[in-house]
Amino acid sequence: LTDKLSGLVKKISGQARITESNVADMLREVRMALLEADVALPVVRDFIARVKDKALGQEVLGSLKPGQALVGIVNRELAATMGEGVADLDLAAQPPAVILMAGLQGAGKTTTTAKLARHLIQKRKKKVLTVSGDVYRPAAIEQLKTVTAQAGADWFPSSADQKPLDIARAALDHARRHYYDVLLVDTAGRLAIDEALMQEIKTLHGALNPVETLFVVDAMQGQDAANTAKAFKDALPLTGIVLTKMDGDSRGGAALSVRQITGAPIKFAGVSEKIDGLEVFDAERHAGRILGMGDILALVEQVSTGVDLEAAKKLADKVKSGSGFDLQDFLGQLQQMKQMGGLGSLMDKLPTQMMAKATDADLNRAEKDIRRKEGIINSMTAQERKKPDLLKASRKRRIAAGAGVQVQEVNRLLKEFEQMQGMMKQMKGGGLMKMMRRMGG
């Protein structure tokens, strides 16, 4: 985590002036980040070209901190590409408003159908009917029945010996006669793009005249999402996208690809297998996730105000003059970590995915851990801090008692210190100062 943080800060706040070549450098990083997030290559190229146009314009030249400005442009452009504002379901149709679900097998259509039913009932007070046109997998019809019940919506029975088109017509007729506001039509998917499947869903679309045709796509699909999106877009007039399995490890680059290729807004994100695991898609937050940086601008701001430049310079001079990195310096580093607003507020700036993994309990533990380490170093004499070699068993016992911790904890801290010292030695020769100056913005 810390590696990632310092790496990113180095990259984005290091530049003092903007030039054609450092824009290129920074854009290379952005390009890497997008590819790592599984954005499709042609989409990345387009995106980088657009950012470059903007970056070389006035916005950046007029800015005091070009690195930050560029990151800002990247972030804004990402968010804009994925759609600004919030796009809820369009129900502006003579009821029943029909919503047709399209996508490959396993994308999450059936699950999402039920999630949407729940959303429409709870948030928009609608009377909702679902129906499955997936006659190829009998279990799929049962699955929709089960999840529809969980959503508190009604389910229209269908069976494997019927034609999808007949099912759809019967369901529509039933929905009309029973005054449903919305009819959600779940469909069959295939494992890969398939002509017969496309033909079938086109036919369904023609018969149902849906107000929404949602393309459901698995965020974990990565690069393949682009091809799938292209095929569905060519077959159907898509009105929206649902990106599922956003709770997985992927950085969600599929969002950018799919949005760019289909031109349809991303309306929802699936964030768990459960019925309530659906969120309205937030492009801005997602931009941060794709870059793997969370709210980077705020983070850069925080880091550059939090670091004590004087102390950093002293430390750098010391390393350079060969007098070494001692425990007093280590203490200084711990204190800087606290100055940066505490771990908690730093964590707020990180991508949601990472945040999800760090619970409040983790943060409390980490902050407590820093305090304990400070306590240990504070229990040492000035001489011990300068010459950690002095710390033999009896001194360690005294320090442990002074700090109210076990001797093992003192040993752990010393080990950590040695690792840090090793790193500092490697950075000797100007590297550290450069790094600190970068952090200082």
Encoding tokens for residue 435?
A: 């790094």
Are residues 150 and 113 in contact, defined by beta-carbon separation less than 8 angstroms? no
Q: Which one of ligand GDP, Mg ion, none interacts with residue 105, CB within 5 to 8 A by kind?
A: ligand GDP
Q: Give the span between the Cα atoms of 309 and 316, in whole angstroms.
A: 10
Q: Give the span between the Cα atoms of 21 and 120, in whole angstroms.
A: 51
Are residues 100 and 204 in contact, defined by beta-carbon separation less than 8 angstroms? yes
Please state the closest distance from residue 386 (CB atom) to ligand GDP, in A.
53
Q: Which one of ligand GDP, Mg ion, none interacts with residue 108, CB within 5 to 8 A by kind?
A: ligand GDP
Question: What's at 66, amino acid-wise?
Answer: P
Please state the closest distance from residue 218 (CB atom) to ligand GDP, in A.
8
Select the span of 14-22, 100-108, 331-339, 384-392 touching ligand GDP (CB under 6 A): 100-108
**Packing angle, helices 283-291 and 66-82, rounded to 10:** 120
Angle at 219 between CA 128 and CA 188, to 5 degrees: 50
Count residues binding Mg ion (CB under 5 A).
Answer: 3
Q: Give the span between the Cα atoms of 121 and 275, in whole angstroms.
A: 13
Q: Which of 357, 308, 355 is nearest to 331 (CA)?
A: 308
Please state the closest distance from residue 109 (CB atom) to ligand GDP, in A.
3
Verify binding: residue 190, ligand GDP, rule CB under 6 A: no
Q: Give the span between the Cα atoms of 298 and 436, in whole angstroms.
A: 18
List the binding residues for GTP: 103-110, 186-190, 244-247
Q: Which one of ligand GDP, Mg ion, none interacts with residue 151, CB within 5 to 8 A by kind?
A: none
Between the CA of residue 207 and those of 131, 144, 222, what are the distances in Å?
A: 15, 21, 32
Q: Which of 67, 72, 103, 252 binds ligand GDP (CB under 6 A)?
A: 103
Question: Which residue sits closest to ligand GDP, CB atoms considered?
Answer: 270
Burial zone of 57 (CB within 10 Å; 0-12 exposed, 13-18 middle, 19+ buried): exposed
List, in sequence order, every residue forming a beta bridge with 98; answer none if it has no partner.
183
Verify binding: residue 158, ligand GDP, rule CB under 6 A: no
Are residues 20 and 37 in contact, defined by beta-carbon separation less than 8 angstroms? no
Nearer Cβ to Mg ion (140/271): 140
Please state the closest distance from residue 291 (CB atom) to Mg ion, in A.
33
Select the span of 6-14, 105-113, 224-232, 333-341 touching ligand GDP (CB under 6 A): 105-113
Site string for ligand GDP, 251-280 (x = CB under 6 A): -------------------xxxx---x---
Verify binding: residue 244, ligand GDP, rule CB under 6 A: yes
**Packing angle, helices 2-13 and 66-82, rounded to 10:** 110
Q: Which one of Mg ion, ligand GDP, none interacts with residue 272, CB within 5 to 8 A by kind?
A: ligand GDP
List the binding residues: 103-110, 186-190, 244-247
Q: Is the dihedral of CA 211, 213, 219, 222 positive or negative?
A: negative
Q: Which one of Mg ion, ligand GDP, none interacts with residue 48, CB within 5 to 8 A by kind?
A: none
Site string for Mg ion, 105-144 (x = CB under 5 A): ----xx-----------------------------x----
Which residues would be at the binding site for ligand GDP (CB under 6 A)? Answer: 103, 105-111, 189, 244-245, 247, 270-273, 277
